[in-house]
Amino acid sequence: MQIVCKYCGKTMDNALAYFIHYSRECQQLPKTRRCPVCGVKFPSFRLLKMHLMNESLIDNRHRSLITARFS
């Protein structure tokens, strides 16, 4: 499964590589501790990022926030 960053177009082989790229290079994640999709609050930004990664694997709403996939 190839994942393409919707901000810069770079292609990664897996979700972890994409998340590392996204958080270090594109930095487009919201700078808040509340999930912009489901509204859950987190005590740290790190936990919010983990939530987004975990939920993106099972929930299309979260996935569309952080990835643009092409088949």
Tell me the pTM: 0.48
Is residue 58, in this structure, part of any structural domain at all?
yes
Is residue 53, in this structure, part of any structural domain at all?
yes
Measure the CA–CA gap between 7 and 24, rounded to whole angstroms.
Answer: 13
Contacts 24+ apart (CB under 8 A), 51-59: 53/15, 53/16, 53/19, 56/15, 57/15
pLDDT at 28 over 70: no
Is residue 71, in this structure, part of any structural domain at all?
no
Is residue 50, in this structure, part of any structural domain at all?
yes
pLDDT at 35 over 80: yes
* 1-5, 21-25, 28-32: least confidently modelled range: 28-32
Give 22's contacts (C-beta < 8 A, 6+ positions apart). Answer: 5, 7, 28, 29, 66
Task: State which residues form the domain around 49.
Answer: 3-66
pLDDT at 17 over 80: yes
